[in-house]
Amino acid sequence: MSTSGHQSRGFQTTIDIARQQAYRVAPVAGQKRPPTETTEQPPDLQTPGPVVKQATFARQNANPDILVESAPLETARDLLNSPVKRVTASKIILGAGAPPEPSPDDPPRSTPVAPPSSQNPLLSLSNPKYGLPPALTANFAALGVRSIYPWQASCLLAKGLLSGERHLVYTAPTGGGKSLVADVLLLKRIIENPGQKALMVLPYVALVQEKLKWMRRIVQDVEKNADDEQNDSNFPRRRWKKMHKNIRVTGLFGGSRTTATWADTDIAICTIEKANSLINTAIEECSIGELGVVVLDELHMLDDEHRGYLLELMVTKLLLLQQDIQIVGMSATLTNTEMLAQWMNAKFFISTYRPIPIEEYLVYENGIYPAATSRQLFQTASKLTAAKSLHDTIPPHRIIQPSTFKQLASPAINAMVALAVETATAGYGCLVFCGSRNACPINAAIIGEAMPPAEPEELNKRLDLLAELRSLSCGLDPDLETTVIRGTGFHNAGMTTEERELIAQAYDQGVIKVLVATCSLAAGVNLPARRVIINGARMGRELVGPAMLRQMCGRAGRKGKDSAGETYLICVKSDMQAVCDLLDADMPAIESCLAPEKRGLKRAILEAVATGLVSGCEAIKEYVRCTLLYRSLDKKLVYGIMNLALQELVDEELLIFKDDESYEASPLGQAIVASAFSPEDGLFVHEELKRALQAFVMDGEMHIFYMFTPLQAPSNTPIDWQIFRDQLDRLDESGLRALQFVGVNPGFVNKMVLTGASLRESTPTEITLARIYRRAYTAFQLRDLSNEVPLATIAKRYNIPRGTVQTLAQQCHGFAAGMVKFCQRMNWGMMAAVLDHMRDRLEAGARADLLEMAQVTFVKSWTARLLRENGFKNLRALAEAEPKDLVPVLMMVNPAKAQKTHTYPTESERYAAKLLAKAEIIIAHANKLWGMFSSSYKWNWRGCILTCGFPDREMLVELEE
């Protein structure tokens, strides 16, 4: 049915309105724009049209200096003019259940709008009641935050919050402005208390990286309220004071190459594990008094099966300390907010305000049914399951016409493609969530086949994106090559970090119109969409939970980026009853993860005793009373669990029960806590290291790489026994001896290849054996990573996604650091030295001959190898080089970027200048490292550069990114 048909019936979605605008269809391949061509600024998205608003917020700082070589237009022409018949998306027509045309007397549907700050002065952050410096409010305004919502003002102005006297727990819908409240409270505390530090805790590395960029932009040119000294007369001192008044923001997470420490930062943005380790260290070193505020984002992670107990440990320790530390917790999916606030002795605030309304729909058998609330969705779904003639029994508002194409024979696939293409044709972004990692590229390809032809400018941008993906060290993924050119992409954990960042940025800027992702994207990064399509209620084999469903739907429509949002849940018949239950389910209440079956209380007590937080029985009881567990269960039961945990820790020789009826941690217990291991993992590591001390295989690398393999990381990757046997066959005598020493039997591997069996894990012995073989299989991948084998080659060799290899490398960095620290605490000095050397190799991803140069900032393994092959043989040669001599080598690191500059002379000069500045920093740091190698000092390159004036902090951040 045509657009006019839609209008005659009076039913229009936001996409229908946009489609009424003229949409010029471009030829399959257009002309390349000249270098001097300028593009118009796109209009605001509130004016419907096929143009997507430019990126804002965290993505607004996309580096304009990133240059790539475009692939020839003939490549795009070949792809788009394929002889295979193009798939056409099915039309979506009005159904019998469409609402009647609205009367002229009916009030127009409008988006809730907060009153302007001119009418309510409290909605301006520059209001004196908030006490924020002008530089900070100007930075907020520059990033689009010119006024706040009434609920944000009410929350911030609640008694005791801005002054840091009270804790806060609050919940608000996704897109409702939660983060701003925490940002204001954190920054105000740091600005007004120059000697204090802040922790911002987020669950995922991607969120840490995104928040890091945002926070660095917010604090630019903002100074802490530090008093100037009267006799500040010499220049170096003035420079140091200026730097000290600036707010230093650092990202800390596993796999991060930063060498910044607690003393080098004012705001540490970190993962849950890193935050817990930092707090333990600060308590042990009696520097916890420097901590002023802790922000816990995604507080619903408290009941996460694997990591929730760490969040509870952090809060429990801070509550027991009763220091002047403000705790701020927030989430979009809290139901028992009041109970959590009572546990934390905090104010609580609940907001249901969402600035952009979301229209919800259920899609079943090509019918689209509106559902404004979960209850209505549930009722609709229940009727559909019992209906004989669906369209007669429950007339849909819109109908997706069946497709004649074989690829779209499934109603669910047909609906996904039709809805996605409709959104893209109208010029808006669409997020499609699917159930598995493998389904992402498949669905992206299917949608891409039905996408409309691109205009010349869009095509050029996609070619630029492909060139940039091709320039990555891992090369261009074939699936991305075929989807990106058509305006679709995918995003999942099997991709490398660099690939995910480029694809996410391209989607945010409108280069890619449709992004297909797994549910991890819903909680991972901030990528809103006009329309969210959930293709099936299962993510993997499991039914998606109410909290994850809300997070996925919350991606639709975000303030500042869109004016409306729509969600479509596509359901198949086999899942209808499960969907009914899901949509009628309440959000689960947050529960403690310190329960006996989760064994978290053992770690909680061990950490508290090992850091000196508690020792006597009464102190331990007081500590347990600060846990969420104490508020969740009967008090006698909690004390019984506590006594059982204490007895187990004593039996395992992690705690020592003294004559004065107090407890202290044994050296083993201290080592486990310092290494950030759980008691169970720490005991396993201890047994393996004790055996290694008796007969460590030092004439090869395999024993160490096995030791560095994380205990949990390999469990998600199945073993390909044929590959395992091939790698065993290629080992030298030393490597084979090392793996046999840890428990690998070549005969068993051969048996698994011949029988095709899988590892059994029904008994403790079988579980231990399975862990050994998984770690050994993963150790082969670590060996390759440390010997400069390209990531793409490793992924192909072991038949695993490239992102999995990269994630493994990141996990190993943290685990390896823990192993080194474990040996140091156990006074196993020689073992610690050997492991520390190999940890440097693992972190650098390089052989031993490059280790010196790989410690220089901006010099990774590939750059170090190029420098060595082009005459800079060692650190001394690098330190004595001229910056201009390094520029040609740095251009070789990314030849695609260098080649692009030949087409654009102005960009060529900028790119060369950037590389020259980078070369100066490399040489400056190499000089300092060379000088320091003669002493026993451990060098902090960031402190060196800042102190010596190479360069200022903002330039350093830009170059580092």
Strands (E), 103-166: none
For the chain, list residues with pLDDT below 50.
1-11, 15, 17-19, 21-77, 83-84, 229-243, 374, 934-961
Instruction: Read off the pLDDT of residues 859-903 as tens digits, 9 standing for 90 and up.
Output: 776 677 777 777 787 777 778 888 888 888 877 776 655 555 555
**pLDDT reported for residue 940:** 41
As a whole number of angstroms, the distance between CA 385 and CA 574 comes to 10
Domains of the chain: 123-156+176-331 (3.40.50.300), 358-584 (3.40.50.300), 596-665 (1.10.10.10), 666-845 (1.10.3380.30), 854-961 (no CATH)
What values do phi and psi take at 650, rounded to 5?
A: -70, -45
As a whole number of angstroms, the distance between CA 478 and CA 441 comes to 10
Instruction: Read off the pLDDT of residues 441-479 as tens digits, 9 standing for 90 and up.
Output: 999 999 999 999 888 899 999 998 998 888 787 888 889
Please, what's the b/e burial string for 670-681 (b: 16 or more CB within 10 A of its CB; e: otherwise)? bbbbbbbbbbeb
CA dihedral 443, 446, 448, 449 (to 10 degrees): 180
As a whole number of angstroms, the distance between CA 410 and CA 664 comes to 64
Cβ atoms within 10 Å, residue 437: 19
Residue pair 159/147 in contact by the 8 Å Cβ criterion: no
Residue 221 Cα to chain centre, angstroms: 27
For 10: left if phi > 0, alpha if psi spans -120 to 50, otherwise beta; the answer is left
**pLDDT reported for residue 42:** 35
Residue pair 267/197 in contact by the 8 Å Cβ criterion: yes
As a whole number of angstroms, the distance between CA 462 and CA 460 comes to 5
What pTM, to 2 d.p., does this model score? 0.78
The dihedral built from the CA positions of residue 351, 352, 358 and 364, taken in this order, carries a sign that is positive
Structure token pair of residue 927: 């000089």
As a whole number of angstroms, the distance between CA 653 and CA 748 comes to 35
Please, what's the b/e burial string for 349-358 (b: 16 or more CB within 10 A of its CB; e: otherwise)? bebeebbbbb
**pLDDT reported for residue 895:** 62
Cβ-proximal residues to 767 (8 Å cutoff; 6+ apart), any chain: 761
**pLDDT reported for residue 6:** 41
By the 10 Å C-beta count (0-12 exposed, 13-18 middle, 19+ buried), 599 is classed as: middle
Structure token pair of residue 447: 């949608």
Cβ-proximal residues to 602 (8 Å cutoff; 6+ apart), any chain: 645, 648, 649, 679
As a whole number of angstroms, the distance between CA 407 and CA 413 comes to 8
How close are the terminal C-alpha atoms of the chain, in Å?
49
Cβ-proximal residues to 807 (8 Å cutoff; 6+ apart), any chain: 493, 713
| 3-class DSSP string for 906-952 | HHHHHHHHHHHHHHHHHHHHHHHHHHHCCCCCCCCHHHHHHHHCCCC
As a whole number of angstroms, the distance between CA 54 and CA 506 comes to 11
**pLDDT reported for residue 914:** 76
Residue pair 403/503 in contact by the 8 Å Cβ criterion: no
Residue pair 68/467 in contact by the 8 Å Cβ criterion: yes
By the 10 Å C-beta count (0-12 exposed, 13-18 middle, 19+ buried), 690 is classed as: exposed
CA dist list (Å): 223 to 132, 133, 218, 433: 11, 9, 11, 42
Question: What's the CA angle centered on 61, arms 420 and 201, to 5 degrees?
Answer: 85
Give which of 800, 745, 738 is closest to 769, Cα–Cα. Answer: 745
As a whole number of angstroms, the distance between CA 81 and CA 476 comes to 21
**pLDDT reported for residue 927:** 78
N residues, the chain: 961
**pLDDT reported for residue 279:** 92
Q: Tell the residue number behind the tokens 């004390």, with chain if given.
A: 639
What is the number of helices (H) and of strands (E) in the chain?
43, 20
For 894: left if phi > 0, alpha if psi spans -120 to 50, otherwise beta; the answer is beta
